[in-house]
Structure 1
Amino acid sequence: MTTINPKAPVLVTGASGYIASWIVKYLLEAGHTVHGAVRDPAKKSGLEHLHALSKQHPDRLKLFKADLLVQGSYDAAMEGCELVMHTASPFVISGFSDSMEALVRPALEGTRNVLEGANRVSSVKRIVLTSSVVAIHGDNIDSLNVPNNTFTEEHWNSTSTADHQPYPYSKTVAEREAWAINSKQSRWDMVTINPGLVLGPTLTKSSDSASMGIMKQLVGGMMFPAAPHLQMGLVDVRDVATAHIKAGYTSTAKGRHITSAGNPTMLQLGKLLRKRFGNKYLFPFMQAPKAMIWLIAPLAGMTRKYISLNVGYPTRFDASKSQRELGMKYRTTEETVCDHFQQMLNDGVIKRRG
């Protein structure tokens, strides 16, 4: 059991990110002091939401300069912290030529950098690591090898590589390295949060998370009128932030925790959106034949191998451990996807119709 002093500051790495911003917000609202690590605290744009939170909670949010690939750069931000939330890791699934440089090296070396910092900074008692369900499975076809097509925390992704599914590969090697470093010492413990696809409202308009890109594909016409039969774990960003905080302050928390509210298909998400917002937007309303999706995959920025191994396979994630051990109660998929789309309308990302 690890008891964290609620008066000690909490380090949140990648503090301006999609998930991390909600963690910072909730920590501040609960009365905690936060050390937010970002690449450039003096950056002119992209940190407005953190500055706004700082004004709302005077003297309780301090930004520190840190870089995943600069050894020791998190040490100053970590000083005095008993709890470290390590969220910083690149989340891109396209638009790069070298997956090792764009994804794997920052995820792996960044995790090593933060955890080795914890070995040096004596105040640290617990690290909560943001992992993913993609560290649990690589392709949906993997579900054929697990009972009831359902993944649990016992499973590990053993099929992704730097060439095939590089983002899942980056999360897998980073989490494995984290557990290896953790096992070599006994002063601090570690808990991981393994979310499904994270959707829901963002605190910053400048987020370039792949979650935003997937949502834009779903509602922007790329899947109209038909969506691939692609099933995934899905969870609200606000619930993922809550899970991190519960994992940090629940003394008995240990191990990995899948965070997922359900396992919808893209078509089911489209139907939920149409139910709320009507037929005036380009939500999918039918299922596309796999052969057609396979044929046009390169035009949509996907490989045909990805389509072959993921479309049409039943895939589920068991989040009962997070409910049982962290007391998680998840928002419905409908609330998550509709709140996200409403924000896109409010921000002008999608033009209002009718």
Structure 2
Amino acid sequence: MSEPVVCVTGASGFIASWIVKLLLQYGYTVKATVRDPSVFHTTSPCYYDPKDPQVELIDPAVKGTLNVLRSCAKVPSIKRMIITSSLRAVVFTGKPLADNDIVDETWFSDPDFCEKLKLWYMLSKTLAEKAAWNFAEEHDETIPWMDVRDVANTHILAFENSSTCGRYCITGKPMHSSELVQILRELYPTLNLPKKCADENQLKISCQFSLERVKSLGINFIPLELSLKDTVESLKENSFL
């Protein structure tokens, strides 16, 4: 009897790679597609004498950059975003450059100065880069905690159960990150753990989640303490700790 064949899309992603690993352990033949882990954004319109600077240069530069960033933010497998700016977004500060000036990464062209002198391309590159930095700061989001082995196993159980239909919430109880740190501190008292969480004032979700449907698949969630312990041991094994 030939081995069953399945296809896993985005197989280079964290969850998908575990699904592939478990499928292979269970005797499946896996055909995989992968997504690129990085994106390079280099394009921007370049006109030095536009008839309508806002339409021809500024909007395409700023909105184009934000469109790429928003799309990438929706794809968890993308780990790095490389954006090409320009020296023109650096040196047009409105102040004369002196021989002893050292231009570094902290310099930004002045949008008001560029607009006043009708340096439209310089303005478009400056605003596009500033928009990218603002986007990065605003999207430094919190990450939900879940043992990837549970997630991967639930996918396979849902596939193997012919009666599976509808939605399944793969989650346990809500926890604040400070509670996780406390558990880690008890498990590994010698680790240099933060005494205060950056999101300490964030409200913890007070509701509970029903596990009735997901438990019907036969999944038994890995205990949180074991999940955290395995994570730390994996980090140690790979020399991250």
User: Contact 1:322–1:328 at 8 Å: present in 2 too?
Assistant: yes
Over the matched positions of the two proteins, sequence identity in percent amounts to 29
Matching of residues 195-274 of structure 1 within 5 Å: 234-274=145-185
For structure 2, the 5+ residue unaligned runs are 38-64, 77-134
Give 1 or 2: higher strand fraction: 1
- Asked if 1:30 is matched to 2:20, the reply is no
| CA separation of 1:29 and 1:283: change in aligned 2, threshold 3 A | same
Residue of structure 1 aligned with 2:9, choices 13, 17, 25: 13
TM-score (norm 1): 0.38
8 Å contact kept, 1:236–1:336: yes
In structure 2, relative to structure 1, the CA distance for the partners of 1:262 and 1:24 (3 Å cut) is same
Q: Distance in 2 between matches of 1:247 and 1:6?
A: 22
Structure 1: give runs of 5+ residues left out of the alignment.
41-45, 47-95, 108-162, 168-209, 215-231, 291-309
Report the alpha carbon displacement of residue 285 of structure 1 after superposing the two structures with TM: 6.2
Task: Report what 1:322 is aligned to.
Answer: 214
Q: Distance in 2 between matches of 1:20 and 1:289?
A: 32
Aligned to 2:234: 343
Task: Flag the 1:274–1:289 CA change in 2: closer, same or farther, 3 A.
Answer: closer
Q: 1:14: how far off?
A: 0.9
In the TM superposition, residue 97 of structure 1 has moved relative to its aligned partner by 4.3
1:13–1:20 CA contact under 8 A, matched in 2: yes
**Superposition CA RMSD, Å:** 3.5
Larger Rg: 2
Q: Cα deviation per residue 1:187-206 (whole Å; 9 max; x = unaligned)? A: xxxxxxxxxxxxxxxxxxxx
Q: 1:288 to 1:252 in 2, by over 3 A?
A: closer
3-state secondary structure, aligned to 1:35: strand
Counterpart AA for 1:322: V
Alignment match of 2:71 (pick from 101, 114, 118): 101
What TM-score results when the alignment is normalised by the length of structure 2?
Answer: 0.53
Q: In the alignment, residue 314 of structure 1 is paired with which amino acid?
A: S
In structure 2, how many angstroms separate the alpha carbons of the residues matched to 1:311 and 1:6?
52
Rate the CA distance shift 1:252–1:346 in 2: closer, same or farther, 3 A: same
What secondary structure sits across from 2:18 in the alignment?
helix
Q: Distance in 2 between matches of 1:289 and 1:31?
A: 45
Q: How has the CA–CA distance of structure 1 residues 34 and 280 changed in structure 2, closer, same or farther, with 3 Å as cutoff?
A: closer
Task: Return the alpha-carbon distance in structure 1 between the equivalents of residues 200 and 155 of structure 2.
Answer: 39
On the 8 A contact 1:261/1:333 being kept in 2, the answer is no
Say which SS state the counterpart of residue 239 (structure 1) adopts: helix
| Pair 1:283–1:317, CA change in 2 (3 A) | farther
- The offset of 1:315, in angstroms, is 4.0
- For 2:70 and 2:2, the matched residues in 1 are separated by 38
My pick for the range that moved more, 5-14 or 235-244, is 5-14
